[in-house]
Structure 1
């Protein structure tokens, strides 16, 4: 009976790979901010953005700019940390990365025969994710009744996910009168995603006379080239401003995908019939030119700001529509080369589909930022914003060999962002310095059940994701709005 828990061990480790490889941007829409001042205000500038970050937040605000030339977003560095407490037995799983954060570069230009219209271009990193988490363990205990004494189990496990979504495009804006303006942005999105899951387990009998081995590898890669549009309207008065934006779903114009599926098991008598060979399995397949699909939600954002004099308050909120369940990747089914008899269907060989699914809840993110006039030419900023997970609650994976119905992500924690910093004005140069802190935690069920270990089935573990960003940047020249 202990031996039959071996597959459960493999499945539970698979849960780790699904749970922790997608923390951050992939399940959240407000993880990134663009533009120096906008970063410090937590992106709560839909109705008040006053630099070329307007190309992203509200293109209608471009109509208020006094002939801006070029904006280099703050140079930001980030430290991201992922922790799974008691991830494998009492051992924590930890991963930290330090590097550049996504940035924005934008500029404006004129069209001679349209002097009252404003135009701009922008390059920004809409998503940038790179996580890798793994462990190597050597465990000694009794988990195989057919071998004498205690066995040694070697475990080598790793999951990795990378996402890169680059936007490039242009914006147009026009002032209808002194108070109202409209605008639109159009971007080309180039999205690349790669996810790799690898698990190697090797068992050795106490007398070194018998060896067992299990391998599972899953690699999924896809890329999309899409178009996305943002429409904006803005109202402006002496001390008050308000804006509204509409963002379209991605319109996919080009796509590609590839999957690898490997699974090998040898040397274990899982059904306790004394025949090791009858439990062996071999499943290998590579599929190129996979049918892929990618969906993003329709969204509506609103924001406003009121200038009290020494204090200016910025508030924003954005509603994102749901995305109904759909297949991201649908590779052609294939048949396992060899599996145990009890995994065969009545119709014959085991069919492997290996499809990848995704779905997203509707969410409303909100936040506020405070702009303080401290002394002449020096301003301070404080901000807080929500970043709710779009993912539905996850359920257990059924017993047996999972051949279909993998989800794109199951991390359901909500993230909150906190920011603060300073901006110094020197004639036509703005110097920005600040930091932001983001954090999300989630409690999930026991994610690793070792063979023969039936203790504490109700134990829960905590998953923590946090990120520090440190930014120093400048804008040249200084832009005056209003």
Structure 2
């Protein structure tokens, strides 16, 4: 009997939540951002204040303040026929997101050294989707409920991820051509993950029955995680300029946690389910809530390189960054408190495996190409494209238990177009952003077209097509002191 209970718990909990948090280059402030001030690895004669490669601080030292605080963005995710024919999952969001406030300072006593600080906000994901099926299907075995039953299936998913980081950088000029730098970021990451689904069918009663409320077979699952983690992210940079040629190298070390706290809640219910018509119905309950759990969200070692070439007043920029793989690990590991009820010692030892919040990542290399050109003596145009490959790698998980911490599994491609308007005391940079991603191998958690007792009234999921679209307007302002 214990084995059957564990199989039921695994069937309810092992639902991969596969919608833009499995990508490294989603943020416009990165090696491929190009149009965003400071978002380069090699020297691009940028007017930025806080550079992604800290070595670039010392190339053209200055004292300035940057207010890059407006990203007007529309984002849409659509999974076509995700939970059955005509049962799409849609998530649409729009809003204004602050990006960065930063400043840089020249040191009068040491002209080779430049210091800079920044407060960086990174919008990662705001995914909210739900769907419902209300129809008549032959869900239950005809031996005890002949004909089609009234069936209701429901699904809801929320995944909200954001980061705010404080950062401090230093750049130092070793010679007229060679520059080094280092930075330390302190990112605060918050994630709220909520997935809920259920399948319910009313039994058919014999003709002439006067029972007002017929028996109900019901399965439902709820899994919620909320956590906050503060970490350290060190970077080391190198830049070399020689005439028209500019080269940059950046090494970002793995994330190191300094504080974390999370909460988990899960509720799984099965009522009056018959795996075979001749066996007594199964009733099942598993429930827990755990507070003050430690998390261990990770990012891997990455190595980025950039190159830019000047021709006339125009410039070509290319960049690439390699991210190492991460083996299977738990972002959040629950305690082995009681979960499957009634409280039994055998059920206690399974809690961690069933409710872990896990992650695994394959190695990824992203590339970017940018081009800047003069429009007027005081206006420079920018165009760039970059890849943003997903690191999702569900086949590499050690076992089937638990929940996957990310919900996107598609590759995305980004494009930017904009201009930098220079004035004696400030620079203003407006730009349009476009991102698009798609996959035909998105596998949802349930399928409301094929529910029956053997799949816990949740159906057999099939692969679906996903489309991701982001349109944004970025406004950046830099004031020179």
Interval containing the TM-score (normalised by the shorter chain): 0.7 to 0.9
**How far apart are 1:284 and its partner, in Å?**
0.7
Aligned to 2:466: 463
CA distance 1:350–1:273, change in 2 (3 Å): farther
Partner in structure 1 of residue 208 of structure 2: none
Kept in 1: contact 2:429–2:475 (CA 8 A): yes
Distance 1:219 1:446 in 2: 20
Question: Is the CA contact 2:51–2:57 (under 8 Å) kept in the aligned structure 1?
Answer: no
Deviations, residues 213-234 of structure 1 (Å, cap 9, x unaligned): 3221101222211111111111
- Residue 308 (structure 1) shift: 0.6
- Structure 1 position 181, deviation (Å): 1.4
- What's the CA shift string for 1:264-316, capped at 9, x where partnerless? 1213323323633xx11111111223243222111111112111114210111
Q: How many Å separate the matches in 2 of 1:372 and 1:475?
A: 20
Change (3 A) 1:358 1:314: same
What secondary structure, in the 3-state scheme, does the structure 1 residue paired with 2:18 have? helix
Is the 1:38–1:53 Cα contact (8 Å) retained in structure 2? no
> Are the equivalent residues in 2 in contact too, given 1:138–1:153 (CA < 8 A)?
yes
Is 38-47 or 96-105 further displaced after alignment? 38-47
Note if contact 1:44-1:369 (Cα within 8 Å) is conserved in structure 2. no
Deviations 1:90-121 (A, max 9, x none): 22221111112451111023555444421111
Q: 1:248 aligns with which of 248, 253, 257?
A: 253
What are the within-5 Å matches in structure 2 for residues 116-131 of structure 1?
A: 116-131=112-127
Deviations along 1:16-58, one digit per CA (max 9) or x if unpaired, are x6113xxx1x3111111239x9553798721025457563511
Corresponding residue of 1:406: 403
Residue aligning to 1:193? 191
Q: Confirm or deny: 8 A CA contact 2:418 2:431 kept in the other structure.
A: yes
Q: Tell whether the 8 Å contact from 1:310 to 1:374 is kept in structure 2 after alignment.
A: no
**Does the aligned pair in 1 maintain the 2:270–2:285 contact within 8 Å?**
yes
Q: Check conservation: 2:336, 2:349, Cα contact below 8 A.
A: no
Equivalent residues of 2:191, 2:226 under 8 A apart: yes
CA pair 301-216 structure 1, distance change in 2 beyond 3 A: same
Contact 2:425–2:480 (8 Å) recurs in 1: yes
Superposed CA deviations along residues 172-198 of structure 1, whole A, max 9, x for unmatched, are 111112111111111111112221111
In the aligned structure 2, how far is the partner of 1:183 from the partner of 1:99? 35
CA contact 2:69–2:97 (8 Å) conserved in 1: no
**Higher alpha-carbon deviation: 157-166 or 326-335:** 326-335
Measured against aligned partners, the alpha-carbon deviations of 1:125-180 in whole angstroms (never above 9, x if no partner) come to: 24532211111221212212323442112222111111122110211111112111
CA distance in 1, matches of 2:462, 2:265: 33
1:297 to 300, 312, 316: 300
Distance 2:102 2:37 in 1: 19
Asked whether the equivalents of residues 433 and 471 of structure 1 are also in contact (C-alpha less than 8 Å), the reply is: yes
Whole-Å Cα distance in 1 between the matches of residues 156 and 203 of structure 2? 25
- With over 3 angstroms needed to count, the CA separation of the structure-2 counterparts of 1:71 and 1:349, relative to structure 1, is closer
Preserved CA contact (<8 Å) 1:33 1:43: no
1:13 Cα shift? Answer: 10
Change in Cα spacing, 1:13 to 1:420, as seen in structure 2 (3 Å) is farther
**Among 73, 82, 88, which residue is 2:68 paired with?**
73
Does 2:104 align with 1:82?
A: no
Number of the residue aligned with 1:450? 450
Separation in structure 2 between the aligned mates of residue 137 and residue 458 of structure 1, nearest angstrom: 15
Contact 1:42 1:419 in 2 (8 A): no
Does structure 2 conserve the Cα–Cα contact (< 8 Å) formed by 1:316 and 1:366?
yes
1:273 aligns with 2:278: yes
d(CA) in 2 for partners of 1:310 and 1:83?
42
Choose the corresponding residue for 2:412, options 397, 415, 419. 415
> What TM-score do the two structures reach when normalised by structure 1?
0.84
Gap change, CA 1:351 and 1:446, over 3 Å in 2: closer
Query: Hey, what's the Cα distance between the residues in 2 that align with 1:102 and 1:439?
Result: 22
Q: What's the CA shift string for 1:371-395, capped at 9, x where partnerless?
A: 0112332222111111111122548
Is 1:428 the counterpart of 2:433? The answer is no
Residue equivalent to 1:380: 381
Which is worse superposed, 405-414 or 89-98? 405-414
CA-CA distance at 1:237 after TM superposition: 3.3
- 8 Å contact kept, 1:180–1:236: yes
Give the corresponding residue for 1:474. 477
Distance 1:337 1:452 in 2: 23
- 3-state SS of 1:62 partner: helix
Which position in structure 2 is the counterpart of 1:109? 105
The answer as to whether partners of 2:41 and 2:305 remain within 8 angstroms in 1 is yes
The residue matched to 1:257 in structure 2 has which SS?
strand
Rate the CA distance shift 1:302–1:351 in 2: closer, same or farther, 3 A. Answer: closer
**Aligned mates of 1:108, 1:375 — CA distance in 2:** 27
Q: Which of 231, 234, 242 is 2:236 aligned to?
A: 231
| 2:273 match: secondary structure | coil
**Distance in structure 2 (CA, Å) of the matches to 1:152 and 1:376:** 71
Tell me if the contact between 1:151 and 1:205 (Cα under 8 Å) persists in the aligned partners.
yes
Aligned-residue offset at 1:365? 1.1
Q: Give the TM-score normalised by structure 2.
A: 0.85
Consecutive unaligned residues in structure 1, runs of 5 or more: none
Whole-Å separation in 1 of the counterparts to 2:180 and 2:396: 45
Residues 232 and 396 of structure 1, relative CA distance in 2, 3 Å threshold? closer
Instruction: Determine if contact 2:13/2:403 at 8 Å carries over to the other structure.
Output: no
**Match in the other structure for 1:307:** 310
Residue of structure 2 in register with 1:93 after alignment: 89
Q: Which residue number corresponds to residue 184 of structure 1?
A: 182
